Structure 1
Amino acid sequence: MSNPTPSAPAVTFTKTVPGGNRANPTTEYSALLRTVRDAGLLRRRTGFYVMMFSAVVLALGGAVTGFILLGDTWYQLLIAGALGVILTQFAFLAHEASHRQVFTSGRANDIAGRTIANLFVGISYSWWMTKHSRHHANPNVIGKDPDVERDFVSFVESDAAKATGIYAWATRRQGYLFFPILMLEGINLHRHGLQTVFGRGKVDKRWVEISMISTRLAAYITAIFLFLPLGMGFAFLGVQLAVFGVYMGASFAPNHKGMPVLPHDSKVDFLRRQVLTSRNVKGSWIMDSYMGGLNYQIEHHLFPNMPRPHLAKAQEIVKEYCDTHRILYTETTLSESYGIVVRYLNRVGLAAGGDPFDCPAATAFGR
């Protein structure tokens, strides 16, 4: 649980400029940023992250101990599931280090993030930094945000319409298939990491990442098949990767899926681009821990280097600010958010082969 933070000062903003026009967007965001900074919410909380890292390492040690003590038994699959959760918690910490939330030094953050991502989680830090930086710059912007690019799932109708055959059948039902498909996301994340570090593109600290990922992969697989029979070893890997994939996807998906998707050439100021395309998830400190602070997605996008313990206090300021400036601030429960994701993906997926409920004449002549 985070330590209490100082109370934020009262927030007073000007809604419009003379003449009734909207205030200068740059000035609007600057005022919000200044208020947050004056409240001390951008100060680093290194002690919090040391505590979190220690707790996750302790949990990892407990899982390893349980793995050794249990021996040749199918109860090992419980350890595999726990390991999937623990590795996701490590991924949250790597994500926060990549945003410079942990240390004041950029180099220290990079060392921490690269070590956790590559050596503990087994995902390329360089790949993640490149992809995630593009996402933060243009969330939900077609052609700019890699998180809305077509993969197995289509996030815009134009991509869904390209699906053919059995892929079209799956795309029309992609909302219902989304969470089951996340069981393969763990493999997908590791695949992207390996393709990046061994690929031809530019990779920062390539050989450091190769050595870390290779060491982690070799040690992990050796340990599993050294202690477990072949079939049980593969089952262990399958469960761990499935839990890891679902947990990662279930933490990141509620934040932007089903929110407005912007055209490639859209002209939207930074403040509104971040707020209107993001969705927060309600909850207590338990939700903060479960989602690694990603439940405060709006505040995280507005202030990417804000430490996790300060996000809740920042939310109070941002919500009041958005209300004053009539900027739609979206916040739902976790279950509501998952429901929105499923319905949105199904609606987009109907573009694959057409909506079976469409009237042919209406389709031909337009709506």
Structure 2
Amino acid sequence: MTSVTPRRQRNRDGDFATLSREIRGAGLLERRRAYYVARIVANLAVFAAGWVAFVVIGDSWWQLLTAAFFAVVFTQLAFIGHDAGHKQILDSRRANDVLGYLHGGLVGISYDWWVGKHTRHHANPNHEDDDPDLDIPALAFTRDQARNKHGVVRWMAKHQAVLFFPLLLLEGLNLHWSSVRHLWRGDGRARVLEAGLLSAHLAAYLTAVFTVLSPLTGLAFIAVHQGLWGVYMGCSFAPNHKGMPTLPPGHQLDYLRKQVLTSRNVRGGRWVDFVLGGLNYQIEHHLFPTMPRPNLRRAQVLVQDFCDRHRIDYAQCGLLRSYAHVLRHLRDAGAPLRQPKEAKA
């Protein structure tokens, strides 16, 4: 990173204050309670209807379609937990946390674990040392990370562009395991509550599956549901930062540029807004994490215009191209591990 004079740094620090006044003046930080009430009620209604259909269909291989349906529903529920974690829904932290814990219990992950991890990510997006989203054993997001891999994970990093989407099939299990490990270590603010919620989730889920389905069909249902849920979750978060610049220790970027230059938006209209839960407006979300999801679309116009006026690179592309950027970045990060083989060829 190039050095910045104190005067220029002060001007840069003032950029975000100026943008914040524009955003606040447009009313985009105000709560959207009616939107979230409608969204939560709709999600819960669809969730309940899915389980009714599950019981009605009975022990049938058609239940694999139900499993795919639940993968979508679980992700939409998780999006509400994400918004609650950022205090986007209600005014008080406590009320948002109640919603977050309940939605975490519905999908079987620790809300407290996720909030802690995600808060560190927002504070240091794409930072080589401090962003937990760059600390994934099976993947390397920089060439230095790739060189430091050993054994099986080194082989995985070497071929990570090819393995990326198959690995997402395990992301659902990883979320469950990370939640259990968090509670086992006693790190949670509400350890007893979350232990009860996760235990109830597991008991209800397995009881429903193996009461209605035969063992073989039940195992297939779980594999399809958890696998597709992991893929959907991974595909919702992967386009946001992967392939964008990584920040070394000691970088001198101000808050505005740190958040904008490490993030990518995904175009696509309202269907992408729904499918990605508003995470397609990643730049605006990182700049204003408490902004309610339905306001991000309006904020995007203001933020892009501001960045254009201040000559700040503003990255956005279509959904499929965003995944291409991710795969290209993963291939480049793993390049040092393939060089000997490619040299011989």
Per the normalisation by structure 1, the TM-score is: 0.89
Match of 2:108 in 1: 122
- Aligned residues of 1:164 and 1:353 also touching (Cα < 8 A): no
Match of 1:184 in 2: 170
Match of 2:332 in 1: 347
Distance 2:340 2:305 in 1: 41
> Displacement, 1:22?
7.0
- Aligned residues of 2:29 and 2:292 also touching (Cα < 8 A): yes
Confirm whether residue 45 of structure 1 aligns to residue 32 of structure 2. Answer: yes
Match of 2:154 in 1: 168
Match of 2:273 in 1: 288
Distance 1:155 1:109 in 2: 33
Answer 1 or 2: which has greater helix percent.
2
Confirm whether residue 255 of structure 1 aligns to residue 264 of structure 2. Answer: no
Of residues 274-283 and 217-226 in structure 1, the stretch that sits farther from structure 2 once superposed is 217-226
The one of 195, 215, 220 equivalent to 1:210 is 195
Compared CA separation, residues 325 and 356, structure 1 to 2 (3 A): farther
> Displacement, 1:356?
3.8
- Aligned residues of 2:161 and 2:330 also touching (Cα < 8 A): yes
Distance 1:189 1:79 in 2: 21
- The C-alpha deviation readout for 1:52-89, integer Å capped at 9, x for no partner, is 11111111122111111111110001001100110000
What is the number of equivalent residue pairs in this alignment?
A: 339
Match of 1:61 in 2: 48
Confirm whether residue 29 of structure 1 aligns to residue 21 of structure 2. Answer: no
- Aligned residues of 1:163 and 1:352 also touching (Cα < 8 A): no
Of residues 270-279 and 154-163 in structure 1, the stretch that sits farther from structure 2 once superposed is 154-163
Confirm whether residue 71 of structure 1 aligns to residue 67 of structure 2. Answer: no
Compared CA separation, residues 359 and 74, structure 1 to 2 (3 A): closer
> Displacement, 1:90?
0.3
Distance 1:354 1:208 in 2: 50
- Aligned residues of 1:85 and 1:244 also touching (Cα < 8 A): yes
Per the normalisation by structure 2, the TM-score is: 0.95
- Aligned residues of 1:164 and 1:352 also touching (Cα < 8 A): no
Distance 1:321 1:42 in 2: 17
Match of 2:263 in 1: 278
Distance 1:100 1:170 in 2: 37
Compared CA separation, residues 192 and 21, structure 1 to 2 (3 A): closer
Amino acid at match of 2:302: I
What is the identity percentage for the equivalent residue pairs of Structure 1 and Structure 2?
A: 44
- Aligned residues of 2:86 and 2:289 also touching (Cα < 8 A): yes
Distance 1:345 1:227 in 2: 42
- Aligned residues of 2:146 and 2:336 also touching (Cα < 8 A): yes
> Displacement, 1:322?
0.2
In angstroms, what is the RMSD of aligned CA positions? Answer: 1.6
> 1:237-252 alignment to 2 at 5 Å?
237-252=222-237
Distance 1:151 1:189 in 2: 14
> 1:74-153 alignment to 2 at 5 Å?
74-117=61-104, 119-153=105-139
> Displacement, 1:167?
3.6
Amino acid at match of 2:289: P
Distance 1:297 1:74 in 2: 38
Query: Mind listing any 5+ residue stretches in structure 1 that lack a counterpart?
Result: 1-19, 361-367
Of residues 144-153 and 295-304 in structure 1, the stretch that sits farther from structure 2 once superposed is 144-153
